[in-house]
Amino acid sequence: MEPNLDSLKQEILDELQVGGFAMFYSESRHAEPEHAIFWDVNAHPDFRAFLRCASQLHVPLVVMHALTFREDDVEDALQDLEESAVEDEEKREMTVTLREMNAFAGLVGSLDLSFDFQGNTYFYYLESDWYREFLDLRDEIDVMSLGDGFEDGPDEPLGGYFSKN
């Protein structure tokens, strides 16, 4: 996707001000709304078209979230990797890759704009390629960590909370 989301973030902030939008900084809202609709950034990458849409709908408020990547994100991933069931050789490779990602600390990894209109939440979402790689590694680590604790098999009750009735 976008190689430099930091400069794009500033362009968006400038455009929001020029467009007369009220702007609200927020945590990411991706997982929250039931009626989320995502802008096709591959076919229409210009955020200005998204903002024109909001303007034509007379939407006064645009919500912005920019995720700044931190060294803590890498350290958390490394700790989870160490505790996971990932094979040793793959674990070494993933450790090197994760440590290299510290070079991105302080940069914007993902950026989203959103607005609400008639019960739907409309999103413009971008993530950098390096951040997508980080998320993919996290997913792989998480999947290997989920495997822990299921050695008894699917027919065994889970601590008294599962009944075969």
Residue range 95-141, pLDDT digits in tens: 999 999 999 999 999 999 999 999 999 999 999 999 999 999 999 99
Report yes or no on 95 lying in a domain: yes
What's the domain range around 85?
5-146
Number of domains into which the chain is organized? 1
Has this prediction a pTM greater than 0.75?
A: yes
Report yes or no on 156 lying in a domain: no
Report yes or no on 70 lying in a domain: yes
Tens-digit pLDDT profile for residues 36-73 = 999 999 999 999 999 999 999 999 999 999 999 999 99
Task: Give the pair of three-digit tokens for residue 36.
Answer: 């989320």
Strands (E), 33-162: 36-38, 61-68, 108-117, 120-127
Check residue 86 and give its pLDDT.
85
Check residue 3 and give its pLDDT.
57
Q: Is the pLDDT of residue 94 over 60?
A: yes
Report yes or no on 12 lying in a domain: yes
* Least confident range of 15-24, 78-87, 140-149: 140-149
Whose tokens are 């739907």? That residue is 120
Q: Is the pLDDT of residue 151 over 80?
A: no
Q: How confident is the model at residue 33 (pLDDT cuts 50, 70, 90)?
A: low
Report yes or no on 164 lying in a domain: no
Please tell me the distance from the alpha carbon of residue 19 to that of residue 63, in angstroms, as a whole number: 14
Report yes or no on 93 lying in a domain: yes
Check residue 165 and give its pLDDT.
44
Whose tokens are 């951040």? That residue is 131
Report yes or no on 162 lying in a domain: no
Report yes or no on 152 lying in a domain: no
- DSSP per residue over the chain, as a string? --S-HHHHHHHHHHHHHHTT-EEEE-S--TTS-SSEEE--TTT---HHHHHHHHHHTT--EEEEEEEEP-HHHHHHHHHHHHHS---HHHHHHHHHHHHHGGGGTTSEEEEEEEEEETTEEEEEEEE-HHHHHHHHHHHHHHHHHHTTT-TT-TTS-STTS----
Please tell me the distance from the alpha carbon of residue 150 to that of residue 33, in angstroms, as a whole number: 32
